Amino acid sequence: MTQVAAHSSLVGGSTASRVMACPGSVALVAKMPPKPSSKYADEGTLLHDVMSDLLSSDKHVSDFLGRKYNGIELTQDLIDDKIAPALQALNTIDPEGVMELEVESRVGFGTMIPDAFGSTDVLGRLGKRTIILDWKFGDGVAVEAENNKQLLFYAAAARLTEETKWAFEDTDELELVIVQPPFIKRWVTDFKTLDQFEMELVRAVKVAMQPDAPLAVGDHCRWCAAKAVCPKMTGAAERALQIKLNELDSEGIGKLLGQADLVEAWIKDLRELAFTMLENDKPVAGYKLVAKRATRQWVNDASARTYLERAGVAPLKPSEVISPAQAEKALKKVKKELPEELVVAVSSGSTLAPMDDPRPAVLNIGKQLTAALSKLA
């Protein structure tokens, strides 16, 4: 039996933004070894599978408790924190339960862009509106629905796929939905937006197929598998190493800080690439794999406790009050709220952030007070 590829090697939903911004990345990524999965990716796959099975069957969410994927188990906490809010989001979009929907629909661009395909999490039609919904179960990066290239890719591909054309029949607007528990992001647009996206994607893919396809640095680099070997990224890192920090002015420092996250991500990917190569018996000049520093642990907790008690040493740590975050999660299960008067938010310090960050700037009280007193002297 021939196994169907899960992801396009040319362009798919999750790579559309990168390919459109950096057509040259397609050829670079094709040469990279596959990245190993992570526990976060495995958890996301588990949650996606559960949502798909829930929406395509008459089963109750409790029926999936204990399901496993690559060692990750669906716990009650995951149901409470991820699955339940995701189901509630669906109720928000379709409170009367009348939306026609399909889950995990395979969609593609056919002859327009061969080898461009993907799978929609939820494809629906509600009244005069076509709905494309994607689950995002990760907590690290907030994902927006507005002009989301991944969802526009799925919408354009679904419109061109015979089995999914039904979702566009007799509709006059398109809604893109990102459900990232506990948040739901929605954006409604018309089909002219989809037409424009389709043309831009086709143009980018044509450029990507050329041997001299251009490379570009930007936010899309964050998830690029070829970041570690990209000439644009290595060049940026080399230029950064040549800069003398004590010669930088305020404007220069600000400009470099804007690139710092990308350079740090490049370094991380470079280390991961070297690790993957060495794990697969491919040499990396000047490096080898060694065992991490070992931490000691008890062979048997009960035996250790008995010995320590006989020796007059307290074997157990003193008990601690659970954190406010842990308490809040536990209280939700018994439908109670955490009293505000019991909690105080204490910052652990200051951190750098760009000027467009919504958080207010920290006031340097010490320096302000010194400046004020100097004026009175």
Q: What is the pLDDT of residues 27-82, one digit of tens each?
A: 999 988 887 788 899 999 999 999 999 999 999 999 999 999 999 999 999 999 99
pLDDT digits (tens, 9 = 90+) for 8-30: 778 999 999 999 999 999 999 99
Query: How far from 10 is each of 27, 151, 334, CA to CA, in Å?
Result: 9, 17, 49
Tokens of 211: 């041997």
> Is the per-residue pLDDT at 366 higher than 80?
no
Contact 53, 59 (CB under 8 A): yes
For residues 238-263, give the mean pLDDT: 77
Average pLDDT over residues 296-323: 88
User: pLDDT tens digits, residue range 316-353?
Assistant: 888 888 888 888 888 888 888 888 888 888 777 777 67
Query: At residue 248, does pLDDT exceed 90?
Result: no
The DSSP annotation for 53-90 comes to HHHTSS--GGGGTT-EETTEE--HHHIIIIIHHHHHHH
Q: What angle do CA 62, 67, 68 make, to 5 degrees?
A: 155
Cα end-to-end distance, the chain, whole Å: 87
Identity at 343, one-letter amino acid code:
V
Q: Give the separation between CA 15 and CA 153, rounded to whole angstroms.
A: 10
Q: Which of 126-130, 290-294, 369-373 has the highest mean pLDDT?
A: 126-130
> Around 305, how many Cα atoms within 13 Å sit in the side-chain half-sphere?
5
- How much is the pLDDT for 374? 62
Neighbours of 171 (CB within 10 A): 16
Assign 84 a pLDDT band (cuts: 50, 70, 90). Answer: very high
Whether the CB-CB separation of 25 and 215 falls below 8 Å is answered with yes
pLDDT of 363 higher than 80: no
Mean pLDDT of the chain: 87
Cα 194 from Cα 190, distance rounded (Å):
7
The pLDDT assigned to 5 comes to: 53
pLDDT tens digits, residue range 179-194? 999 999 999 999 999 9
- Contact present, 259 and 221 (Cβ < 8 Å): no
Provide the 3-class DSSP secondary structure of residue 98: coil
Classify burial at 60, counting beta carbons within 10 Å of its beta carbon; exposed 0-12, middle 13-18, buried 19 or more. exposed
Where in the chain are the domains?
16-208, 226-279
Q: What percent of the chain has pLDDT over 70?
A: 93
16-208 CATH pick, 3.30.70, 3.20.16, 3.30.519, 3.90.320: 3.90.320
Is-contact 226 32, C-beta < 8 A?
Answer: yes
Determine the average pLDDT of the residues in 205-233: 88
Considering the entire predicted model, what is its pTM? 0.75
